[in-house]
């Protein structure tokens, strides 16, 4: 069964071209031209992944992505946009995007990125809220390590490293 993709792109040339290219690569694709239309599509149909532009009329991609992240937290999505400022990239990733691709891009690379994201998202199992590590309790989402007599707020990097070590015991 093919994966279902929702493309949110207002460019009248790029949108249909992306749709056609993904369909040629075995995906089932719906195309919408703004976040508002995409919301309706998402409520009416099931999708495996969303590809969205940022700059669009009616509702921009950041607003739409924030809505997706809140209402569909397990839905993978990525941005395909001409906005390449570091602030824009950081904003997109902070919203929970699985990737941020800057136009122009290679279509074959996009297809591989989408396939990789879908493969990872299908393997996801819910993360435990905390882990026991010796006498300590580790809360990765809160960046918190609680011991018998102390609490330590970790940096993002420390938390990632501790989580990696915990998941790969031995």
Print pLDDT tens along the chain (170 aa).
Answer: 578 999 999 999 999 999 999 999 999 999 999 999 999 998 888 899 999 999 988 898 999 999 999 888 889 999 998 888 899 899 989 999 999 999 888 889 999 999 999 988 875 545 668 888 889 999 988 899 999 999 999 998 998 888 888 877 76
158 closest CA partner among 170, 143, 169: 143
**Partners of 87 in the β-ladder:** none
Q: Which domains can be identified in the chain, with CATH numbers?
A: 4-123 (3.40.50.2300), 131-167 (no CATH)
Lookup result for tokens 């809505």: 67
Handedness of CA 111, 20, 80, 140 (dihedral sign): negative
- CA distances 31 to 17, 104, 156, Å, are 10, 19, 36
Tell me which residue has tokens 């207002």.
10
Q: Using the 8-state DSSP alphabet, how is residue 10 labeled?
A: -
pTM, rounded to two decimals: 0.69
What is the four-CA torsion angle of 140, 50, 93, 54, rounded to 10 degrees?
-160
Nearest Cα neighbor of 103 from 117, 88, 121 is 88
Residue pair 100/93 in contact by the 8 Å Cβ criterion: yes
Cβ neighbours, 10 Å, residue 3: 19
């Amino acid at each position: 069964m093919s994966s279902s993709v929702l493309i949110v792109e207002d460019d009248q040339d790029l949108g249909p071209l992306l749709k056609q290219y993904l369909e040629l690569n075995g995906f089932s694709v719906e195309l919408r031209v703004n976040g508002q239309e995409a919301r309706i599509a998402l409520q009416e149909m099931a999708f495996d992944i969303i590809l969205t532009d940022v700059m669009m009329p009616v509702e921009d991609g950041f607003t739409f992505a924030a809505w997706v992240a809140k209402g569909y937290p397990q839905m993978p999505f990525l941005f395909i946009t001409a906005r390449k400022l570091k602030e824009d990239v950081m904003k997109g990733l902070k919203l929970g995007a699985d990737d941020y691709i800057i136009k122009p891009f290679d279509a074959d690379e996009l297809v591989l990125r989408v396939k990789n994201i879908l493969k990872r998202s299908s393997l996801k199992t819910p993360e435990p809220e905390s882990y026991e590590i010796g006498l300590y309790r580790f809360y990765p989402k809160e960046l918190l390590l609680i011991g018998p007599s102390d609490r330590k707020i970790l940096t993002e990097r420390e938390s990632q490293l501790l989580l990696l070590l915990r998941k790969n015991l031995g």
